[in-house]
Amino acid sequence: MVLNGPNLNLLGSREPAIYGRDTLDDIAVRLEEQAATLGLELDIRQSNHEGHLVDWLHEAGARGALAVLLNAGALTHTSIAILDAIKGINVPVIEVHLSNPHTREEFRHTSFVARAAKGTIAGFGAASYRLALDAAAALRQ
């Protein structure tokens, strides 16, 4: 599963100097192509609502997903509910960011997602998603 949080629906026009010009659909198309070559099935979603992300993490757990790629957007820095959801499922979560939050404002330096994530890929623009999908594929035995 590839879960995207608040404001990521605006990719392409949102602060392009930070997040680039690719839309979430552009990223999704490339991820689907990559998934096909890796033999993986993707379910890519975006919501601006914290509870949807919590529900979808539970769904990933119930479905026994191989992994979740999670870009929780600003909820990364605030959401204990998302942290608890990650802890509550038995699915590795790979934290993804287009930007590198550690080089940005102080309030982005805390990640509740990172506390329970298998690992984090950040700072490579849209390529962060590609690298994260490769990381997910590497989790297969």
Q: Which residues are catalytic?
A: 19, 97
Which residues partner with 95 through β-bridges?
70, 120
Closer Cβ to ligand DQA, 37 or 105, answer by number: 105
Closer Cβ to ligand DQA, 65 or 96, answer by number: 96
CB of 18 to ligand DQA, least distance (A): 7
Interaction residues for ligand DQA, span 80-139 (CB under 6 A): 97-99, 101, 108
Task: Find all residues with CB under 8 Å of 111, minimum gap 6, and list them.
Answer: 76, 77, 95, 101, 120
Distance CA 10, CA 78 (A): 20
**Which residue from 52, 56, 72 is spatially nearest to 122, judged by alpha carbons?**
72
What is the torsional sign of CA 48, 93, 112, 96?
negative
State yes or no: residue 7 binds ligand DQA (CB under 6 A). yes
Closer Cβ to ligand DQA, 63 or 122, answer by number: 122
Could you give the residue ranges of the DSSP H alpha helices within 5-109? 16-19, 24-38, 50-63, 80-88
Instruction: Report the residue from 35, 38, 40, 74 that binds ligand DQA according to the rule CB under 6 A.
Output: 74
Closer Cβ to ligand DQA, 23 or 99, answer by number: 99
CB of 39 to ligand DQA, least distance (A): 27
List residues binding ligand DQA (CB under 6 A).
7, 71, 73-74, 76, 97-99, 101, 108
